[in-house]
Amino acid sequence: MIERELAKVAKSHLPPAERLTELDEDDEGRAVRLFQGMATQWNWSVMGAGGIIGRMATGLRYEALPAVSAALGLAVDRQMFADLQLIEAEALSAMAAR
């Protein structure tokens, strides 16, 4: 489901603030919106062997979370943070599979 939603975002020509993702549960929908807002806040690892260099996302930069959530008008509680971490883990798994 996350890969499908990320594909929709990539194809969208709307600014990030106007890209809405609707899921059945309100908390999950808010967490997806927060995850989308954090799209530019990834930590990256650079790897190389024999002149070949690649990048791999290693996780979100949580120090940016207060600014991003405030800009989106989202209050981050314990459940919202757990949902964000779940989405992040699934996204990392999907990116690693590519």
**57-94 pLDDT, tens digit each:** 889 999 999 999 999 999 999 989 999 999 999 999 88
Write down the residue that tokens 């194809």 correspond to: 11
Q: How many C-beta atoms surround the C-beta of residue 51 within 10 A?
A: 5
Write down the residue that tokens 């070949």 correspond to: 52
The confidence score (pLDDT) of residue 69 equals 95
Question: What does the alpha-carbon distance between residue 43 and residue 40 come to, in Å, rounded to a whole number?
Answer: 9
Contact 98, 54 (CB under 8 A): no
Domain segments of the chain: what residues?
Answer: 2-33+61-97
The confidence score (pLDDT) of residue 3 equals 72
Contact 72, 63 (CB under 8 A): no
The confidence score (pLDDT) of residue 13 equals 52
DSSP 3-state of 14 = coil
